Amino acid sequence: MKRFSVLAVLVVALAGAVLAQGSLLINGAGATFPYPIYSKWFDQFHKSTGAQINYQSVGSGAGIKQVTEGTVDFGASDGPMNDDQLKAYRAKNGSGILHFPTVLGAAVPTYNVPGVSTQLNFTPETLAGIFLGRISKWNDPAIANANKGVNLPANDIVVIHRSDGSGTTYIWTDYLSKVSGDWKDKVGKGTSVNWPVGLGGKGNEGVTGLIKQTPNSIGYVELIYAAQNKITFGTVKNSAGTFVNADLASVSEAAAGASKTMPADFRVSITNAPGKNAYPISSFTWLLIPEKFKDAAKRDTMKNFVKWAITDGQGDAEALSYAKLPKEVVDMELKALSKVQ
Amino acid sequence: MNARLRWRKLVSAFMLTMTGVCAFVAVLVLFFILGYLVFHGGRSINWDFFTKLPTPVGEPGGGMANAIIGSAKLLLLASLFGVPVGFFGAIYLAEFSGSKTAFVVRYAADLLNGVPSIVIGIFAYAMVVLPFKHFSAYAGGFALGIMMIPITLRSTEEFLLGVPNTLREAAMALGASKWKTIATVIVPAAYRGILTAVLLAFARVAGETAPLLFTAFGNRYWSPGFNQPIESLPHMVYIYAISPYEDWQRQAWAAGLVLLGLILIVNIVARFILARGVSVQRS
Amino acid sequence: MATSSINVPSASPVEDSRSFLSRLRNGDEIARLVTFIFAASIVLLTVLLVYVLWIASSLPRQKFGLAFFVTRLWDPIAEQFGALTFIYGTVVTSAVALSIAVPLGIGAAIFLAELAPQKVSDPLQFFIDLLAAVPSVIYGVLGVFIVIPLMRIWIAPTLKATLGFLPLFQGPAYGVGFLTAGIVLAIMVIPYIISVSREVLLSVPRDQREAALALGSTRWESTWKVVVPFARTGIMGSIFLALARALGETMAVTMVIGNTPSISSSLFAPGYSIAAVIANEFTEATGDMYLQALIQLGLVLFLLTFILNGLARLLMLLTASRGSGTGRA
């Protein structure tokens, strides 16, 4: 009995040592917003180059934190790091961190209202009112006015938001802060805010799950999560006055203006963008890549990955409802990659 | 028989039946859990589950091979750390120590046992992840190992103390030194109980998720060696179960079934070993 | 007795005057030293744990002091942190759990100890011990797929219809919330109450029961009015043990409580517990104050479970020393 267990331990230790000779493993963490396309990309990249990029979809907040701590090799976020966070990164690591946009996505208002299977129209004021807790019933005049002819029940609205630090939350609250002075004063924008009302779900996945399960609920998720899980999402009235449905065209239009005025560090907000059919709650999502890599192999692999993702990889984006990056942005990024050392 | 007595007897019969109901409800819950997992998980268990890696989001298929191996590696590390500490510490308590030291050590172990597993995760993050700047199987194994120590310690000590002094006296009479007595007489005499203790500690930490959240972190691929983030079955159950993808949810049931099956089997084996030992001693 | 009563004397009669190194040649001394190191490491580990937690949570202590415990606001952006909502959630879910688990658990323990013949009682206890071995994440999954829909469709409407006049059962029921978390926790802690209470009840001396029966009490009366009170301290101990377990439970709670820091008089409302907020926000806490506030919460939880476990042990010791049989300390 004793001899057997000693033997077993040796065998496993040997196996562990042997497996340690495996191929390169790069660790990343962050946004759940782009997780469907990232997981596809990493899988394809692995098949073609053998490099293993382990990405854990734990939320933008965790991505920023862990890449700052250095416990992961890169991060990902849909809310760009603010100046304080950039300073903190530099203080902890001695060099800076770069943002690289990868795709364009949209945060859509998804809902589960019994008896309503059509697409509802939401105005900015309505959305702010719902998430502030001021509009509490589905048949409220504010909602009914934009949706004439739809039979809205007199049920209480169940608001669902993120319980974790989220770039999707950043996009959503950034938009609400722009369109509602009340929201800006009372709640503000960030990856984690003090929500006036609602339940918390973990990740885009958790929010989607909660909406599916909870009647009379409304929440915000990235477009593909609503599409893949077949839950209805609404249109949003943009600054030009059109009720726009989030799709490739409307998201691309939102980014069109920004690409001409893209700052060198790529940190830009395109919510409430001008444009007749621009979807107002669109956003870039970024990979957070350190300026300096200690390991040359990891650095080269990451650079190759980013290069591939913003060029060839873009072909996968549209199938998953993410809009491609504008060409000008891609050119800027290819040049900026040389900064990674 | 007067009316009051009849009433009291009625109350008695009723209340006693209710207690029976309570007991059966408790047991029924266990069988319900098992049945539910078998029903939902059984359908999703196939060869792929045990041999394939996870597929990208939304793509069906794939499995949890890396999580199964990952759990095995984490538990191996945890045992290598926790079991010797608990075992040798118990030997010290049972054979060498004075009562004051024994009290302090036991108290510390009880304290450790009562620490919520998430707090142990924080400790492991501070001690292993931050200094080495990455998540790893080592960190996860460290956290789980800490949780194994108190169970191993207390049970081993109990069984060592349970060995009758006649055995010790006999060994002494034959001229054996103390450590020889311990190694060749006392420990073998208590081995059933000690094995049970180790198995129960093992089963206890096999299902833990919270301490792994910020130590082992998770890994979609194989984890080479022990110095990289690593996946585990309980963690996969957690992620997949709260996701909205039906394919993932089915895999979560399957993983839950495998995990629970493993833990229950270890528990049952442990108790049978103990029971056989007791009945052997009695006869 | 802490150690075995046999102490093997060392060979030399002038043992104490030998130097440490030469004593070390004696195999027994090596064994003593080695095992002492392992035992001491346990104590060291525990001290280290408390120390690390303490110094890693100094910032919020400096800034907020004791106000941390009574402040409701938890705002990472404004860096204002208060533990009240999490303490509330932890306490409420545990209270709900106990109010379900204690009657059920003691009832089951009475059945197993007093009524069931050993051939039935032992296997049943075996199964109940297995229930304690089920991992918490599985309870969480079952909570998500079974208890939440059940709550929304059946339990909440029924409670509202019958007890809706109480503020506890008013307000919208989403499925997640304090009550759901309490129910899941109750299932998790019942085995602890049953197994410890059963043991304590079994160790009540027979003459107590027989005396009661001889005086003309019914079976139930002798159990409830004589045996159970006799085992009272041990049963209390089991309740404290169950409570400590419920307070620290993480995974099952975070999957069903709603993850919303709020205080509400309704049990149907979503909430948050200390363990759940740590699990959700720890890896993303940017900024030292945020992270340390979470660690401070962990310390609070540790303190609560520490006190409860201590009380439980004390009660068990009292039970044992009262001579009510072979109580295990």
| b/e per residue B115-154 (b: at least 16 CB within 10 A) | bbbbbbbbbbbbbbbeeeebbbbbbbbbbbbbbbbbbbbb
pLDDT > 90 fraction of chain C, expressed in percent and rounded: 33
Would you place residue A202 in the very low, low, confident or very high pLDDT band (cuts 50, 70, 90)?
confident
Q: What is the pLDDT at residue C325?
A: 44
* C193 to chain B, closest Cα gap in Å: 11
Residue of B133, B198, B220, B247 to mutate, testing the A interface (most A Cβ within 10 Å of its Cβ): B220
Contact A62 C283 (CB under 8 A): yes
d(CA A58, nearest CA chain C) in Å:
8
Q: How confident is the model at residue C2 (pLDDT cuts 50, 70, 90)?
A: very low
Residues contacting residue B89 through CB under 8 Å, at least 6 positions apart: B105, B109, B149, B153, C35, C38, C39, C41, C42
Between residues B32 and A2, which one has the greater pLDDT?
B32
pLDDT tens track for A130-154: 999 999 999 999 999 999 989 999 9
C66-75, pLDDT tens digit by residue?
A: 888 888 888 8
Which residues of chain C have a CB within 8 Å of the CB of B22? Answer: 103-105, 107-108, 111
Q: Closest Cα to residue A78, out of A144, A32, A127?
A: A32
Residues of A with CB below 8 A from C81's CB? none
Residue C262's pLDDT is 85
Question: Tokens 């919208």 sit at which residue?
Answer: C172
Q: Averaging pLDDT over each range in B41-45, B70-74, C64-68, which range is the top one?
A: B70-74
pLDDT over threshold 80, residue B172:
yes
Asked which of B137-151, B174-188, B230-244, C47-61 is least confident by mean pLDDT, the reply is B174-188
User: Encoding tokens for residue C297?
Assistant: 């919460």
Least confident range from A204-213, A268-277, B46-55, C318-327: namely C318-327
Contact B267 C130 (CB under 8 A): yes
Q: Which domains does chain A have, with CATH numbers?
A: 2-105+283-339 (3.40.190.10), 106-255 (3.40.190.10)
Question: CA distances (Å), C200 to each of C106, C238, C329, in order?
Answer: 11, 9, 12
Shortest CA gap A283–chain B (Å): 21
Rounded average pLDDT over B212-222: 89
Assess whether pLDDT exceeds 60 at residue C324. Answer: no
Q: Which of residues 195-254 of B touch A (CB under 8 A)?
A: 217-229, 242-245
CA distance C187 to B263: 18
CB contact under 8 A, C284 and A88: no
pLDDT of residue A314: 92
Report the pLDDT value the prediction gives residue A17, as an integer from 0 to 100.
Answer: 54
pLDDT tens for A88-147 read 999 989 999 999 999 999 999 999 999 998 999 999 999 999 999 999 999 999 999 999
Q: Are C280 and A58 in contact (CB under 8 A)?
A: no
- The ipTM estimated for the assembled molecules is 0.85
Contact indicator for B252, B236 with CB cutoff of 8 Å: yes
User: Residue A279 is which amino acid?
Assistant: Y
Q: How far apart are CA B227 and CA C148, in angstroms?
A: 39
Count other C-beta atoms under 10 Å from residue A22's C-beta.
Answer: 14
Is residue C118's pLDDT more than 80? yes
Structure tokens at C255: 């999957």
Q: How large is the average pLDDT for residues B194-217?
A: 89
Chain A CB contacts of B135 under 8 Å are 27, 71-72
Q: Which of B127, B169, B238 sits opposite C6 (nearest CB)?
A: B169
Going by pLDDT thresholds of 50, 70 and 90, the confidence category of residue C1 is very low
* Gap from B133 CA to chain C (nearest CA, Å): 14
The count of other CB atoms within 10 Å of the CB of residue A1 is 7
For residue range C121-173, what is the model confidence (pLDDT) as tens digits? 888 888 888 888 899 999 998 998 899 999 988 999 899 889 888 888 888 88
Instruction: For residue A244, list its beta bridge partners.
Output: A236
Nearest CA-CA distance, residue A253 and chain B, Å = 27
Ramachandran quadrant class, A158 (left: phi over 0; alpha: psi -120 to 50; beta: rest): beta
Query: Choosing among A33, A205, A223, which should be mutated to test the B contact, i.e. which has the most B CBs within 10 A?
Result: A205
Q: What sign for the dihedral angle of Cα A208, A214, A219, A224?
A: positive
Q: C61-91 burial by CB neighbour count: b if 16+ within 10 A, else e?
A: eeebeeebeeeeebbbbeebbbbbbbbbbbe
Give the one of C32, C48, C309 whose C-beta lies nearest to B110's C-beta. Answer: C309
Q: If you average pLDDT over every residue of chain A, what do you get?
A: 89
The residues that bridge with A243 in the sheet, in sequence order, are: A237
pLDDT tens-digit map of C168-193: 888 888 889 999 999 999 999 999 89
User: What pTM, to 2 d.p., does this model score?
Assistant: 0.86
The neighbouring-strand residues paired with A289 are A98
Residue A234 has pLDDT above 90, yes or no: yes
B230 forms beta bridges with B217
Smallest Cα distance from A221 to chain B, Å: 12
Which chain B residues are Cβ-neighbours of C298 within 8 angstroms? Answer: 116, 118-119, 122
Q: Which of B89, B177, B214 sits opposite C39 (nearest CB)?
A: B89
Q: What is the pLDDT of residue A245?
A: 94
Cβ contact B30–C127 (<8 Å): yes
Q: Which residues of A touch C270 (CB under 8 A)?
A: 199-200
Q: How far apart are CA A324 and CA A247, in angstroms?
A: 12
Counting one residue from chain B and one from chain C, the pairs whose CB atoms sit within 8 A come to 287
Residue of B nearest to A40 (CA): B56
